[in-house]
Chains A and B, each alone.
Chain A
Amino acid sequence: MSRMHLRRRPSPDVLPGERAGGRPWKWVAIGAVGLVWGWFDAHTRTFTIPAEVSAGIVIAAVYAYAYARRRRGRPTDTGGVRGAGGSNPTAPTSGRTAPVARRTIAIWGAIITLAVAWELFALLHLPRHLHPTFSSLYVEASRLLLVRVVTFAAWLALGIWIVLQ
C-alpha cells in the first residue's frame, strides 16, 4: 500500500479555520484568549506557584474539554461525527480520511528525526551555553514579553486543535 489515510487537503471553498471542525471566528476567539492569558502568564516567573497555576489551569481545561468531547462521543475513531448528521454516511466529517503520499511521511519524518537527534545531541553535551537545547533557546528568547505571549497562545491553540481532531 503506497498511500496511507491522512487528512484531506481542504477544498478551495473551505476556510483554513474550518479544517479542525471549527469556524474561523472560533480560532480568532481562541487566539484572543490565548494572547490575554499568555500576557498574564508572561508576568509569572518560572518555578513559582503562579506559573504552575497559570499553566495548570490551561492544561486541566484542555484535558477536561477533551474528556467532555469523548463523553459526547465525538470524534469517533473512524473519523465520523456522531450527533447531528453523524449517522448519515454522506454527511461531512471535517474531511478526516483522505490518502496522502508516503513522500509526505518520509520528508516530515526525516525532519522530525533530525530535530530529535539534534536535541538529544545538545542535551547530552555540556555546558548548556555551548550546546543550547530547544528549551534553553526558548528561555533566552522568552526574555522578550511578546515571544512568551505568542508562544503561550500558540501552545494553547495547538492543544485545542489536537482535541478537535
Chain B
Amino acid sequence: MSWRWITLAGWSVLAAAIVATELAAHTVMRRLQGFESIMAFLARSRPTRVALLLGWGWLGWHLFVR
C-alpha cells in the first residue's frame, strides 16, 4: 500500500467522521450539536468573527485563485 492510499484513507476517515457526527447530532444524539454550533460559538465574539472571515477569504483565494 503506497503513501497515497494511506493519506487518502486518512482523509476518507475524517470525512466519514464529520458526516457521521453531523448526522448523529441531528438524529440520535440530541445532546450533541452540529458543526454549525461550533462556528456560531466562534462567531459570537468580534475577534474570532473577524478571524473566521479572514480565514474564509484566504480559503477562497487559495482554492479558486492560489
Q: How far is the CA of A115 from the CA of B16 in the complex (A)?
A: 12
A77–B45 touching, CB < 8 Å? yes
B14–A131 touching, CB < 8 Å? no
Interface size on B, residues (CB 8 A): 39
Q: How far is the CA of A137 from the CA of B38 in the complex (A)?
A: 25
Out of A101, A142, A151, name the residue touching B31 (CB < 8 Å).
A101
B residues with CB within 8 A of A: 2-4, 7-8, 10-11, 14, 17-18, 21, 25, 31-33, 35-41, 43-46, 49, 52-53, 56-57, 59-66
Q: List 26 A-B contacts (CB under 8 A).
A: A5-B41, A7-B41, A52-B65, A55-B60, A77-B46, A96-B40, A100-B33, A100-B37, A104-B31, A104-B32, A104-B33, A107-B32, A108-B38, A111-B17, A111-B18, A130-B2, A130-B7, A131-B3, A131-B7, A148-B64, A159-B56, A159-B60, A162-B43, A163-B53, A165-B39, A165-B40
How many A-B pairs with Cβ below 8 Å?
Answer: 125
